[in-house]
Amino acid sequence: MFETRKFLPTLFMPFKLSLLLIAAGWVWGKRRLVFVGLVLLYLGSIFAVSDSLRYWLESQYPRVQAAQCPTADAIVVLSGFAEEDKRQPDEIRWTDRTDRFLQGIRLYRLQKAPILLFTESQPPGMGARIRQAAVDQGVPRDAIRLTKPASNTAEEADGVQNYVRASGGHRVILVTSAIHMPRAARLFRSAGIDFAPFPVDFQADGWEWKWERFVPWPGALVQTEECLHEIYGWAALTVIPHHTALH
């Protein structure tokens, strides 16, 4: 079921959907379907669209200055910023979401909370490496906690909920990418967690009238689908329970 929930939304992403429309139009002799597929692929592949979607998502939760962030019982840093390095299994491969880790460390140094809580991610053992990376950044080992293993954001929210109940805490600071914050915030509210949002990793600057933004580019297609993944996941939470939400 988990794999099915992950696969079905991909059928409505610009790349796969446009290919399906083009193939169907070619087989059935429907030029209109081919045209619609090409238009969809073009729109999904330009930064004028991808940047606009990202800017809209990132605007849902404005940037917060670290010094102005309220205090809480724990700083929760969602996963996604580190992967296993298959060539060097004991090492971490940092992703483009590393700002989550760095800003979580920064908030701890500013004494915004006494505990730095990382959500345990796959593969097994990654949490221990992340803990060590935080220790290397000067965070005391006894100030670092890990949730139970989680494979998606809904499970991360459940893990944080369990920690808050067990520790007797009341409020956490939620650190995740700005593009991911709307969906994560909805899941945390659904789990009954009191939190202060601290969005990071802002990338979109808003609308710009430049001709190159209308030139198809693979990077724009990747960003469009990343945005749609968040939008579909957020929308799904209105009709299905949070524990069945998209990864």
Please check whether residue 209 lies inside any domain of the structure: no
Q: What is the pTM of this model?
A: 0.88
Give the residue-averaged pLDDT of 23-33: 92
Q: By C-alpha distance, which of 218, 192, 220 is closest to 204? A: 220
pLDDT at 24: 93
Whole-angstrom CA distances from 234 to 34, 38, 44, 102, 167 are 30, 27, 19, 26, 29
Looking at every residue in the chain, the average pLDDT score rounds to 89
Please check whether residue 128 lies inside any domain of the structure: yes
Q: By C-alpha distance, which of 196, 199, 177 is closest to 73? A: 196
Whole-angstrom CA distances from 11 to 5, 14, 51, 230 are 11, 8, 22, 15
| Other CB atoms within 10 A of residue 142 CB | 7
Task: Judge if 91 and 175 occupy the same domain.
Answer: yes
Task: Judge if 82 and 130 occupy the same domain.
Answer: yes
Sign of the C-alpha dihedral, residues 159, 82, 178, 153? negative
Each residue's pLDDT tens digit, 171-194: 999 999 999 999 999 999 999 999
Task: Judge if 29 and 84 occupy the same domain.
Answer: no
Please check whether residue 208 lies inside any domain of the structure: no
Please check whether residue 11 lies inside any domain of the structure: yes
Q: What is the CATH number of the domain that holds 106?
A: 3.40.50.620
* CA–CA separation, 207 and 239 (whole Å): 32
Please check whether residue 206 lies inside any domain of the structure: no
Task: Judge if 105 and 183 occupy the same domain.
Answer: yes
Please check whether residue 97 lies inside any domain of the structure: yes
Task: Judge if 77 and 133 occupy the same domain.
Answer: yes
Task: Judge if 20 and 72 occupy the same domain.
Answer: no
Task: Judge if 106 and 19 occupy the same domain.
Answer: no
Task: Judge if 77 and 55 occupy the same domain.
Answer: no
pLDDT at 65: 96
Task: Judge if 72 and 137 occupy the same domain.
Answer: yes
pLDDT exceeds cutoff 60 at 245: no
- If one counts the domains in the chain, the total is 2
The length of the chain is 247
Of residues 242 and 87, the one with the higher pLDDT is: 87
Task: Judge if 79 and 159 occupy the same domain.
Answer: yes
Whole-angstrom CA distances from 155 to 130, 135, 150 are 19, 25, 5
Please check whether residue 88 lies inside any domain of the structure: yes
Query: What is the percent of the chain where pLDDT is above 90?
Result: 71
Task: Judge if 145 and 239 occupy the same domain.
Answer: no
Please check whether residue 207 lies inside any domain of the structure: no
pLDDT exceeds cutoff 70 at 73: yes
Task: Judge if 78 and 167 occupy the same domain.
Answer: yes
* CA–CA separation, 36 and 232 (whole Å): 21
Which residues lie below 8 Å from residue 20, measured CB to CB, with a gap of 6+? 11, 37
pLDDT exceeds cutoff 50 at 247: no
- Domain encompassing residue 36: 2-59+214-244
Of residues 209 and 116, the one with the higher pLDDT is: 116
Q: By C-alpha distance, which of 199, 201, 246 is closest to 223? A: 201
Give the residue-averaged pLDDT of 4-30: 81
Grade residue 6 by pLDDT with cuts at 50, 70 and 90: low
Give the residue-averaged pLDDT of 184-209: 91
